[in-house]
Amino acid sequence: MSDLSINFCGVKFRNPLVLASGILGVTASSLKNVIRNGAGGVTTKSIWLNPHKGHPNPTMFGTEHYFINAVGLPDAGIEKAIDEIKPLIESSEDPIIVSIAGGNKQDFVDIAEKIHVVNPQILELNISCPNVEDQFGRPFACVTVDAGELVKRVKEVSKNVPLVVKLSPNVNNIAEIALECEKQGADGINMGNTFGPGLVIDIDIRKPVLHNKVGGVSGPGLKPLYVKKVWDVYSAVKIPIIGTGGILTGEDAIEMMMAGASLVGVGTAVYYRDIDVFSKMVKEISDWCERSGVENLEEIVGAAH
């Protein structure tokens, strides 16, 4: 039996598969259910300082190749989130990654300070959502100095909790951005959030499918694009990577790890293969390790470089 456990920023995961933020991670009971179904760890949906309204329905649409969403990060705010996840973190044997989001840099600092009461094992900064500070409406993750400054400011208050920064694939200088985040104190990189925005039109009603018109694109058709981004980040930084995007099978996860990911984020796959996708993928990874003579999964991280 191969050892599938991964040490990520000093936190032990029994396998490399982590529920990506925003997928089923709405309540403590749904996060628990994902762990019961085989995930090595889970990420909460992104938590805001104050209640945050999402977009009206319809917010999601999928085909066999891709998935588009404009959920808009709805959230009840930090106080409710603390009540929900504190008992979960206290009772869980598996790591819970707490994702936070904000409309401006001070929000991120304030949430990071407040979230300490739950003792998060890992804090994930979702800086790949649209912000209100940039006059062009660009996410912080798309501007090197903004990404770095945010990491630096949050790191000052997040003490010794490992800080992962979730980047956007919608840039052509990902290595530079990842390197700046590392320089400013990030302990890990999640690469990454959805591609886009994309647009899908319903030809029968001659209108966009989503109420918000545009949305973030994820899912299996985008896997080679995400694998390349992870490859580029791994080439640039020494801190560990969560490779997220387009992963559907155990073999996909192994490919992502060979590109440089230590952990693999699994999001849209839940819609394609159901909630037990985690245990199915663990079996696929395990079978591959047996076939390939891999005793310890950590040895394949970055193996394709």
Q: Which residues carry out catalysis?
A: 129
Pick between residue 285 and residue 294 the one whose CB is nearest to ligand FMN.
Answer: 285
157: three-class secondary structure by DSSP? helix
| Residue 131 makes contact with ligand FMN by CB under 6 A | no
Pick between residue 118 and residue 242 the one whose CB is nearest to ligand FMN.
Answer: 242
Residues 6 or more apart whose CB falls under 8 angstroms from that of 144 comprise 173, 176, 177, 180
| Residue 194 makes contact with ligand FMN by CB under 6 A | yes
- Tell me how many residues contact ligand FMN (CB under 6 A): 27
Distances (CA, A) of 305 to 120, 136, 249, 262: 33, 36, 21, 14
The CA distance from 253 to 251, in Å, is 5
List the x/- string, 136-175, binding to ligand FMN by CB under 6 A.
------------------------------x---------
Stretch that binds ligand FMN, among 30-38, 239-247, 254-262, 280-288 (CB under 6 A): 239-247
| Residue 219 makes contact with ligand FMN by CB under 6 A | yes
| Residue 22 makes contact with ligand FMN by CB under 6 A | yes
The CA distance from 192 to 242, in Å, is 8
Residue from 268, 275, 297, 301 binding ligand FMN (CB under 6 A)? 268
| Residue 184 makes contact with ligand FMN by CB under 6 A | no
Whether the Cβ atoms of residue 25 and residue 19 lie closer than 8 Å to each other: yes
The CA distance from 38 to 40, in Å, is 6
Residue from 15, 37, 126, 249 binding ligand FMN (CB under 6 A)? 126
Pick between residue 188 and residue 246 the one whose CB is nearest to ligand FMN.
Answer: 246
Name the residue whose CB lies closest to ligand FMN: 22
Whether the Cβ atoms of residue 168 and residue 218 lie closer than 8 Å to each other: no
| Residue 266 makes contact with ligand FMN by CB under 6 A | yes
Question: Regarding beta strands 60-62 and 11-13, do their DSSP bridges make them parallel or antiparallel, or are they unpaired?
Answer: unpaired
Whether the Cβ atoms of residue 254 and residue 230 lie closer than 8 Å to each other: no
Query: DSSP characters for 246-265?
Result: S--SHHHHHHHHHHT-SEEE
Q: How many CB atoms lie within 10 A of CB 105?
A: 18
Question: Regarding beta strands 188-191 and 241-244, do their DSSP bridges make them parallel or antiparallel, or are they unpaired?
Answer: parallel
| Residue 229 makes contact with ligand FMN by CB under 6 A | no
List the x/- string, 27-66, binding to ligand FMN by CB under 6 A.
------------------xx-------------x------
Q: How far is the CB of 190 from ligand FMN (least distance, A)?
A: 7
| Residue 214 makes contact with ligand FMN by CB under 6 A | no
**Which residues does residue 43 pair with via DSSP β-bridges, in sequence order?**
97
Distances (CA, A) of 104 to 22, 100, 161, 181: 20, 12, 21, 17
By CB under 6 A, name the binding residues for ligand FMN: 20-23, 45-46, 60, 67, 69, 71, 73, 99, 126, 166, 193-194, 218-219, 244-247, 265-269
